[in-house]
Amino acid sequence: MIMLKQMTILFLIMMVGLYAGKTNIITEEASKKLSSLVVNIANPCFVVCSVLGDTHIAGEKLVLMALAAVGVYICLIVLAVFVPLLLKVPVNVRGTYKVMLVFNNIGFMGFPIVSGLYGSEMLLYVAVFMLPYNILIYTYGIYVMRKDGGENGKMNVSGLLNPGVIAVLAAFVIYIFQLHIPEVIAESITMISNVTAPLSMMVIGASFAGADFKKMFADGKLLVFSLLKLLVIPAAGYFLVRLWIHDPVMQGIILVMLGTPVGSMVAMIASEYGGDVELATKGVTLTSLLSVGTLSLLFVVLHI
């Protein structure tokens, strides 16, 4: 029921964002600026904030979570080869489907959900997932999108050193060396991090303003894909993880990482590197809407 409460709160904030988008309080240009603010400032502060207090996460648990994160992404990349074939999607959009399958909205939804469920200290586990995510989205993600979009597949490493990665590395340094951060800086970082959840949800909600919901729900392949991504894969992943990770908090966080919707970065990469922008945008929107119910359902059915 805690998950249901948390997702209801986030959904209501998304609806505020939808209203703001419909009434042009948040215009398309403003939405881009707010997205940039969340990705480059608020979210990095959210990550660093997770290690500013007294953290009780043991080092071996972080290593275990890191191994789990690597395993999760390997499995998702393998699944991404077969799911588009299973759905019989056209060759020219397979790259977009692959990237949508692998990359979830960890930044915009994962952080707020985990913080609400388990507390800000547990965001360090989410930060562990962010490192391979950022590495893969700028290499594998761009490679697949360009290759299946008809361009020469070429890995891109120029975006690897971004504010998100820097924040994760900074958080690990603070955690490992138990660095003391001056109170005035720590409180400033905390205050900025507090805007992450509401801003993220309002930006997502505002993105729904121009969506054609009738057309979106009429796309059978995308709907089946969304249910596979949001229900089948997270549930299967959860049962596999339980075989070798016995900490219920870690299990729940991994389930959240798997059950969040398609990441908004997917649409940006599709636009930049020859993917299907309309499909990626529909994927982000549809899975974001459905995840409010599917994540809650997973936590209720799995008794987490």
Q: How confident is the model at residue 281 (pLDDT cuts 50, 70, 90)?
A: confident
N-to-C CA span, the chain:
9
Overall domain count for the chain: 1
- No. of helices (H) and no. of strands (E), the chain: 17, 0
Domain-embedded: residue 13: no
Strand partners, 262: 104
CA distance linking residue 194 with residue 186, whole number of Å: 12
Residue 224 lies in a domain: yes
Give the pLDDT confidence of 148-159 residue by residue, as tens digits.
656 655 555 666
Mean pLDDT value across the chain: 88
In-domain check, residue 232: yes
The answer to whether residue 280 is domain-embedded is: yes
pLDDT average, residue stretch 288-301: 92
User: Do the domain assignments include residue 17?
Assistant: no
CA-nearest of 260, 264, 275 to 34 is 264
237 is in which domain, residue-wise? Answer: 43-197+210-301
> What are the φ and ψ backbone dihedral angles of 158, each rounded to 5 degrees?
-65, -25
pTM across the whole model: 0.88
Q: What is the CATH number of the domain that holds 214?
A: 1.20.1530
Whether 38 maps to a domain, the answer reads no
- 25, part of any domain: no
Q: What percent of the chain has pLDDT over 90?
A: 44
Domain contains 77: yes
Residue 2 pLDDT > 80: no
